[in-house]
């Protein structure tokens, strides 16, 4: 039954991930042949700087002309691990036009142009697989798209960025401030020289857009995702979290509204209870918690980045796409039939943990409580700590719309007795939500 | 693109899982249609006792003649949730012969006859999917078979039986003995009236056989799996585990030998460090830890049993199999090309935690240590506790072949100064293994 003509693979990009993909394809060629049902041949590797190519990557396959490689006409599968919008988008589109299927690890491109790329794949009868775009080696796209295809996902709650989890874990365990923890992450190679994409939540937001689209069978674009970074999380926030039996994580949260008529997707730091499975995710590990109607609560945990883990996800997709090629079929394409709209952040239902610096005199609590009541926000707990004529008031609310909660905070700022809002943090992942 | 002729599904069995499958197929019919690309019609439900059929299950579809239903000729997919060997095996075989693909939740049958069933499926160009057979709703078969298809799995370490995890968790948290914890599990519906299949490890062994076969691309039969139940785990064992910073779990462990030339599969209670992700799996939850060469360490967590979670897994498979039917293709079949043999338990490399009741007199430790040395087993730690002329000696070994460890224990039993072996427990899941 084994076909002898090999499937030809073009690899675009040969950095940390690409060189590992090339290495595994070479050293494990026999296993790939058995698992695909035909030999899989690395036919060419497009790089920008040929002088930089790593050990173990066959030099004779290197080219700087990615476009010519993709358009060669005999390529069955294009593996895109360049990242960024262009030239990745043009190359993937050209791949479909020339009869190739595509495996991509490009979260930014998928989050921005997933719908157009899926449409191009379908038009040309090709596959577009991208397990590696979300949380590295952790199977998430396939479980959501296939394992849970007969179920109804209601919530996805995940730690999908290893850099920020490393920093927050360090702050939690050592009491370090943000800058100090970031420096350590940079020194250990967990943070890039410019950490903006990670610490400001852009990377997590792209993953949230992809996960929400797949989970709810609708289209969620990067612009639809509410995003707050974690650069303003302080050691004092961690101290407050501990008092509540919580820790702080940067979470990507995708939810179906209670009435089922819309979805939301957001990325922000939040307090979660220490008993929640996500609370114990340490260092640069990722984990994603999925709640589905029939399945209940599932969690997927593993390394969310790195050359080898990402290559593992790419190769899993490569085997699947090659099998589909042999069977002259394609895997599941985009599923966006629900057309559920994405609601703005103001409609998200959540809880706030608010620390206020207030004057230490009678009547302040009553004043503050009145503001909450006027905005229809119900208070769960209040804790007062007084010293030297100043006092701190820590309020944890019940669940309410984010718009009502943020309007409450704005009104509190205007009170004479409130000297400042020391911190605001959402509280997520509690039982019974 | 939507096909209008429906795909016809025969459901065999309508107990806890089957009735939930029928309910979801009915209430979520529109979603299934969109996700499959054609309507999916429940064409018949075979039951043994038609009087027992549950609310919400269409009465007009009920039949007691499962064989006639399967052989009707117009069935596209047979969903088998009867369990047990016969008549499930005969019905599945008949389904393939009559052109249907099969989705099964039958771990006992798959573990015993997986190879023959896969061969029958392939012969008839049909699919055999069985995500629900291992750990309920937790995606494991698909991630191992597809997501990790380009990687090399070296170890699978899992809690795959909810009943025993509930009992052990209860013993751990409350200090209860085995009988007391079993009674509570029975009262709460976590244990069956006859708990043998769970507490003696038969259920977990079947899952270990299935997981090992898929993970290592070889054939592992139920008889190949070493099995010890957990009925002899005592409160004293938990006390010993705590002193070591461990807890006790019933684990299914599938490993590739260090030289890569064989595999092992086993089920037994073991101590694992409290810091291991599996240690914090509570109540009846399941979790499976997978170590792969490129992906690193992954963990999958969720409800391992129950009507709804198992139905979720069945329906995910049903959607996949229906899609394949429409595409006139099949998904990945059995992959057993490595033909790696399964080594006996004696060749497994592990560590023992041994509690000995010994005479409290000089020279006993030297005598005991000599026995270990004679068997080539190196001691990691020894702890002595004396009282009233008797003493307890707790020895934790370094890693050694199980045969050498068990021979050591036999030799210790023969020493005059050893009054008894109070407990033996393997230690697993440590770093650097």
Cβ distance of B137 and A295 shorter than 8 Å: yes
| Coil/strand/helix, residue B61 | helix
Give the integer Cα–Cα distance in Å for B391 and B379: 19
pLDDT in tens, B91-125: 999 999 999 999 999 999 999 999 999 999 999 99
CB B132 within 8 A of CB B317: yes
Say which of B280, B311, B320 has its CB closest to residue A146: B320
Closest A-chain CA to B309 = A295
> What does the pLDDT read at residue A50?
82
Using alpha carbons, list the distances in angstroms from residue B228 to B264, B345, B365: 15, 11, 29
B73: left (phi over 0), alpha (psi -120 to 50) or beta: left
- What is the rounded distance in angstroms from the CA atom of residue B341 to the CA atom of residue B261? 8
Quick check: bond before A383 cis, omega within 30?
Answer: no
Window 217-256 of A, Cβ < 8 Å to B: 217
The answer to whether B100 and B76 are in contact (CB under 8 A) is yes
Do A122 and A333 touch, CB atoms closer than 8 A? yes
Q: Distance (Å, rounded) from C-alpha A88 to C-alpha A104?
A: 9
Residue B142 has pLDDT above 90, yes or no: yes
Rounded to whole angstroms, the Cα distance separating B206 from B213 reads: 11
Residues in chain A closer than 8 A to B280 (CB atoms): 277, 280
Q: Give the bridge partners for A129, in sequence order.
A: A103
Contact B31 A152 (CB under 8 A): yes
Is A277 part of the contact surface with chain B (CB cutoff 8 Å)? yes
Probe site for chain A from B150, B296, B431 (most A CB atoms < 10 A): B150
Query: For residue B251, how many other CB atoms are within 10 A of its CB?
Result: 27
Give A229-265 pLDDT, tens digit per residue: 999 999 999 999 999 899 999 999 999 999 999 999 9
Q: Give the SS3 label for residue A243.
A: helix
pLDDT of residue A3: 63
DSSP secondary-structure letter at A343?
Answer: P
Q: How confident is the model at residue A433 (pLDDT cuts 50, 70, 90)?
A: low
Chain B interface includes A32 (CB < 8 A): yes
Higher pLDDT, B158 or A359: B158
pLDDT computed for residue B272 by the predictor: 96
Q: Is the pLDDT of residue A181 over 80?
A: yes
Q: Is the pLDDT of residue A338 over 60?
A: yes
Contact A73, A284 (CB under 8 A): no
More confident residue, B55 or B10: B10
Q: Give me the count of residues in chain B.
A: 433
Separation of first and last alpha carbons in chain B: 53
Backbone angles phi, psi at A75, to 5 degrees: -85, 125
**Cα B26 from Cα B247, distance rounded (Å):** 44
Mean pLDDT to the nearest integer, B321-327: 95
Does A141 count as an annotated binding residue? no
Who's near A425: CB < 8 A, 6+ residues apart? Answer: A233, A237, A240, A241, A248, A269, A270, A271, A352, A353
Between chain A and chain B, the number of residue pairs with CB atoms below 8 A apart is 183
Neighbours of B430 (CB within 10 A): 14
**Where is B248: in which H helix or E strand?**
strand B246-256
Q: What is the pLDDT of residue B432?
A: 54
pLDDT confidence of residue A260: 93
Q: Which residue has the tokens 């299914």?
A: B252
CA distance linking residue B132 with residue B16, whole number of Å: 13
What are the pLDDT digits (tens) for B277-287?
Answer: 899 899 999 99
What secondary structure letter does DSSP report for A145? Answer: I
pLDDT at B329 exceeding the cut of 70:
yes
Q: Is the peptide bond before B3 cis (omega within 30 degrees of 0)?
A: no
A98 has a pLDDT exceeding 90: yes
d(CA B383, CA B381): 7
Contact A204, A160 (CB under 8 A): yes
Q: How many Å lie between the alpha carbon of B375 and the closest alpha carbon of chain A?
A: 39
Is the pLDDT assigned to residue A27 strictly greater than 70?
yes
First to last CA, chain A: 53
Position of tokens 């943990």?
Answer: A353
Which among A149, A72, A107, A138 is positioned nearest to A331, based on CA atoms? A149
Asked if residues B140 and B291 have their Cβ atoms less than 8 Å apart, the reply is no
Long-range contacts of A66-74 (CB under 8 A, 24+ apart): A66/A12, A66/A91, A67/A91, A67/A94, A69/A10, A69/A12, A69/A43, A69/A44, A70/A10, A70/A12, A70/A46, A70/A94, A70/A95, A70/A98, A70/A100, A71/A98, A72/A10, A72/A43, A72/A44, A72/A98, A73/A98, A73/A99, A74/A8, A74/A43
Contact A132, A159 (CB under 8 A): no
Closest by alpha carbon to B77, among B6, B151, B173? B6
Q: What angle do the packed helices B162-174 and B235-243 form, to 10 degrees?
A: 70
Q: What is the pLDDT of residues A125-167, one digit of tens each?
A: 999 999 999 988 999 999 999 999 999 999 999 999 999 999 9
Joined tokens for residue A266: 């957001």
A152 contacts in chain B (CB < 8 Å): 28, 31
Contact list, A31 vs chain B (CB under 8 Å): 152, 217
Query: What percent of chain A lies above the pLDDT cut of 90?
Result: 88
Pairing of strands B40-46, B226-227: unpaired
Measure the CA–CA gap between A237 and A246, rounded to whole angstroms: 10
- DSSP code string of B159-197: E--HHHHHHHHHHHHH---HHHHHHHHHHTTSS-SS-HH
**What's the whole-number average pLDDT of chain B?**
94
Q: Taking 80 as the threshold, does the pLDDT of residue A362 lie above it?
A: yes
Q: Are strands A153-159 and A246-256 parallel, antiparallel or unpaired?
A: antiparallel
Residue written as token pair 């499926």: B121
Which pLDDT does position A5 carry in this prediction? Answer: 85
> What pLDDT does residue A37 have?
94
For residues B90 and B78, the answer to whether their CB atoms sit within 8 Å is no
Has residue A202 got a pLDDT over 80?
A: yes
Coil, helix or strand at residue B82: coil
- Two structure tokens written together for A302: 């593993």
- Taking a C-beta distance cutoff of 8 angstroms, is the pair A276, A186 a contact? no
- Per the annotation, the verdict on B249 as an active-site residue is no
C-alpha angle B328/B330/B334, rounded to 5°? Answer: 165
Q: Looking at the predicted structure, is the pLDDT value of residue B297 above 60? A: yes
Paired tokens of B89: 């095996």
Chain B stretch 332-361, residues whose beta carbon is closer than 8 A to a beta carbon of chain A: 332, 335, 337
How large a percentage of chain B has pLDDT more than 90? Answer: 88
- B2: pLDDT strictly greater than 60: no
Q: Does A327 touch chain B (CB under 8 A)?
A: yes
Q: Burial letters for B32-48: b for 16+ Cβ neighbours within 10 Å, e otherwise?
A: bbbbbbbbbbbbbbbbe
Tens of pLDDT along A379-430? 999 998 876 677 889 999 999 999 999 999 999 999 999 999 999 999 998 8
A35, A152, A302 member nearest B296 (Cβ): A302
**Min Cα separation B364/chain A (Å):** 43
Over range A293-305, report the average pLDDT: 95
Cα gap A154→A131, rounded to integer Å: 21
**Minimum mean pLDDT among B26-40, B161-175, B388-402: which range?**
B388-402
Which one of B8, B207, B249, B325 is the catalytic residue?
B207
pLDDT of A2 above 60: no
- The full set of domains in chain A, from first to last, is 7-136+308-326 (3.40.50.720), 143-303 (3.30.360.10), 347-427 (3.30.70.260)
Q: H helices within A1-158, ranges in order?
A: 16-27, 29-36, 66-70, 88-97, 107-123, 141-142
């Amino acid at each position: 039954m084994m076909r002898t003509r090999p499937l030809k693979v073009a690899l675009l990009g040969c950095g940390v991930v690409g060189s590992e993909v090339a290495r595994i394809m070479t050293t494990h060629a026999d296993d790939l042949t058995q698992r695909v049902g035909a030999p899989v041949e690395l036919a060419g590797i497009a790089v920008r700087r040929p002088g930089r190519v790593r050990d173990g990557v066959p030099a004779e396959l290197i080219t700087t002309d990615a476009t010519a490689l993709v358009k060669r006409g005999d390529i069955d599968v294009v593996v895109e691990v360049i990242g960024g919008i262009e030239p990745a988008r043009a190359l993937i589109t050209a791949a479909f036009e020339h009869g190739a299927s595509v495996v991509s690890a490009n979260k930014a491109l998928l989050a921005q142009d997933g719908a157009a790329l899926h449409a191009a794949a379908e038009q040309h009868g090709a596959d577009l697989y991208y397990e590696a775009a979300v949380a590295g080696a952790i199977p998430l796209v396939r479980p959501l798209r296939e394992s849970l295809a007969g179920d109804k996902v209601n919530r996805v709650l995940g730690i999908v960025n290893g850099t920020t989890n490393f920093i927050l874990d360090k702050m939690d365990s050592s009491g370090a401030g943000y800058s100090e923890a970031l420096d350590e992450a940079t020194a250990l190679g967990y943070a890039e020289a410019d950490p903006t994409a990670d610490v400001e939540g852009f990377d997590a937001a792209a993953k949230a857009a992809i996960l929400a689209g797949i989970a709810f069978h609708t289209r969620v674009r990067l612009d639809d995702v509410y995003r707050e970074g974690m650069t303003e999380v302080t050691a004092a926030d961690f101290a407050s979290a501990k008092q509540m039996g919580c820790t702080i994580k940067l979470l990507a949260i995708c939810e179906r509204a209670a009435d089922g008529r819309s979805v939301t997707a957001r990325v922000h730091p939040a307090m979660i209870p220490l008993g929640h499975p996500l609370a114990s995710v340490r260092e640069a590990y990722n984990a994603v918690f999925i709640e589905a109607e029939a399945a209940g609560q599932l969690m997927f945990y593993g390394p969310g980045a790195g050359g080898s883990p990402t290559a593992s996800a790419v190769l899993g997709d490569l085997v699947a796409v090659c099998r589909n090629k042999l069977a002259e079929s394609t895997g599941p394409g985009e599923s966006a039939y629900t057309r559920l709209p994405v609601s703005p952040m103001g409609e998200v239902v959540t809880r706030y943990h608010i620390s206020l610096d207030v004057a230490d005199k009678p009547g302040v609590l009553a004043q503050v409580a009145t503001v909450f009541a006027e905005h229809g926000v119900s208070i769960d707990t209040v804790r007062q700590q007084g010293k030297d004529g100043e006092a701190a008031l820590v309020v944890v609310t019940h669940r309410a719309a984010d718009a009502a909660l943020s309007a409450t905070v704005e009104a509190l700022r205007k009170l004479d007795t409130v000297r400042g809002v020391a911190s605001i943090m959402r509280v997520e992942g509690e039982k019974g939500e």
